[in-house]
Amino acid sequence: MVNYLLKITAELENLTNLQPQGGCDDPNFSYLFKVKCGRCGEVSQKETCVTLSETVALPAGKATTNLMQKCKFCGRDGTITMIPGQGKPLTDEASQAGKYAPLMQFDCRGYEPLEYIEGTKFDDIDLSAGEFSEYDEKGECPVMISNLRSTFDVVK
Ligand SMILES: [Zn+2]
């Protein structure tokens, strides 16, 4: 069993505590990424979307998972189960130190998660282009997020 911890970092200007809208464990926040089949190595064409509020029952036992998907190439079944409670907002200090903030842990069976598709909403910010800039009228300063990077750390 291998778990993967999704972590992100970005350059923040006049902004701190970057996290998904509603928090890392927001039941309706969708995490998008591509997966690689553990048997044949085929990389999915389409990104996979997992959301805490969406679960499917596993055929055996009482457990549930967040995604069950069959590899289009070799037909092997794989599952991805989200493990909440690991997320931390990316602070200005961590960003400046080049540190990554954890978002969500995934228990992946049969699949390996690849590139995280940045995007959807971080605190009302659309990061689908990988960067964002705006002028904060209240604080009278430019707000900027750039160079967003993500990584999947293997957790044993
Ligand atoms: Zn396969």
Best CA proximity match to 91, nearest among 12, 17, 14, 20: 17
**Ligand 1 center from residue 29 Cα (angstroms):** 27
Q: Which two tokens stand for residue 75?
A: 């037909």
Question: What percent of the chain shows pLDDT beyond 70?
Answer: 88
Quick one: pLDDT at residue 99?
Answer: 96
Quick one: pLDDT at residue 48?
Answer: 87
Q: Domain boundaries in the chain?
A: 2-155
Q: Which residues of the chain have pLDDT under 50?
A: 120-121
**Ligand 1 center from residue 79 Cα (angstroms):** 13
In the chain the beta strands, taken as DSSP E runs, fall at 2-13, 30-37, 48-51, 56-57, 64-65, 67-70, 77-83, 101-109, 111-116, 121-122, 125-126, 132-136, 141-155
**Ligand 1 center from residue 129 Cα (angstroms):** 30
**Ligand 1 center from residue 50 Cα (angstroms):** 19
**Ligand 1 center from residue 52 Cα (angstroms):** 25
Q: Is 95 helix (H, G, I), strand (E, B) or coil?
A: helix
User: pLDDT tens-digit profile of 3-25?
Assistant: 999 999 999 988 888 888 788 99
